[in-house]
């Protein structure tokens, strides 16, 4: 599962995508980890390009992921 750091984000610490499950796992700076379900791989690739070009990971998350996909909070998981 490819993992990326999100150094420019004040809320998000890391993100990872599991292509087989089509799930996006996000670790927030609070330590909480959430899994977003049925996220298209295309959206993950756009996210990577966006943050590579110094875009805000949090802004992308708020606009394209939060409130658009089912999610669950993962308990007792190792950090990404």
Question: Could you tell me the residue ranges of all domains in the chain?
Answer: 3-74
Tokens of 29: 């700076």
Q: Which residues contact 59 (CB under 8 A, 6 or more apart)?
A: none
Q: Which residues contact 29 (CB under 8 A, 6 or more apart)?
A: 9, 10, 11, 12, 13
pTM of the full structure: 0.85
Report d(CA 74, CA 7) in Å as an integer: 22
CA pseudo-torsion sign 61, 66, 68, 71 = positive
- pLDDT tens-place string over residues 21-76: 999 999 998 889 999 999 999 999 999 988 888 778 888 999 999 999 999 999 86
């Amino acid at each position: 599962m490819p993992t990326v750091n999100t150094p420019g984000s004040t809320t998000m610490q890391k993100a990872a995508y599991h292509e087989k499950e089509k799930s996006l796992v996000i670790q927030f700076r609070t330590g909480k980890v959430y899994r977003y379900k049925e996220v298209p791989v295309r959206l993950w690739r756009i996210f990577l390009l966006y943050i590579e070009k110094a875009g805000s990971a949090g802004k992308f998350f708020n606009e394209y992921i939060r409130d658009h996909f089912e999610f669950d909070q993962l308990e007792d998981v190792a950090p990404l």
